Homo-oligomer: A and B are copies of this chain.
């Protein structure tokens, strides 16, 4: 058991505080012989990196990843490959402004982990949220980049599908749009609406929540496991472990409560290599095991708790006070959660791929002959 590790066979351990020297991840259990390049990892880092638009925190971090172990020259190709030993990834913190936080050293931000960390541990690194900072998620993205290499045929993408009350129109859903706007939004027409909405939210000294949808395509039938090892349970934990997440849905999600059994049934028709499904209310998972359809997960991110509108709070001595959070904060942390959601999906699937291979000796289901 380890509070800072995730996964069983593809196992990621992260460490580091927002305003410490560095943060990092150790990836253990990665299969050997996988070609890894820093640039591939960096490309994912760059998508999550702060300061890329006015809608994310203005903290400037290069987020350059260093690989300290677990990779060596391949004896045949001479390129860098994983060796099967732990891959240590390190990202230096370069733009800490810890002074911004001295004011909140003795106060708790409402809806922030300040209070609970302090009560749990009796000591907290108050600078920038310390370990509770979204900065920790940079390490997840680095690990997720490696996880993708373990399951190269699986395509994992995500889109922001809602900011505040404004949902995208799924009829306009186009994956190609995602990297063309600052919101990772698959619906181009939503972008200007969200821009003006977020601008107004910020003017009001507030912040906004969001919903992210992550989709994994070309996942074989048979990954996942029953009961407590359900793929859906691990995905739920993975997404809920991201800062500020308050809800997770698979397929029809919370809305499946409103469906009748007749509509909910994803009917099956014989396809070329096995059954095809006429719908995907299951979100690709039945009984905790993949059915070959895309795995679809949505999660909700609450609005940033660090806001400039004064809120009632207490001091660390339990005296009434008021608090206004300065520092550089994302007006909508949900935006940068998009690549993080992808990374968590990648880690969970890579782990379940290995788990499935362990127990069955196969990389997929038994298939139809």
Contacts and interface: CB of A to CB of B under 8 A. Distances in A.
B11 A2 contact: yes
A190 interface: no
B1 A119 contact: no
B314 A123 contact: no
Nearest to A87: B15
A253 B69 contact: no
A123 B291 contact: no
A40 interface: no
Contacts of A232: 240-241, 245-246
Contacts of A311: 262, 265, 267
Contacts of A70: 15, 17
Nearest to A358: B358
Most B CB atoms within 10 A — which of A269, A291, A300? A300
Contacts of A117: 226, 287, 289
A246 B240 contact: no
B286 A14 contact: no
B209 A259 contact: yes
Contact of A240 (B236, B243, B256, B357): B236
Given A15-B68, A265-B307, A366-B122, A4 B85 contact: yes
A29 B68 CA distance: 23
Interface stretch (A45-53, A180-188, A316-324): A316-324
A131 B15 contact: no
A110 B164 contact: no
Interface stretch (A20-28, A56-64, A151-159, A170-178): A20-28
A3 B28 contact: yes
Nearest to A355: B358
Contacts of A260: 164, 201, 204, 206-209, 303
13 contacts: A1-B29, A3-B229, A15-B88, A31-B359, A110-B265, A116-B285, A240-B248, A246-B283, A247-B248, A264-B305, A268-B312, A269-B320, A357-B361
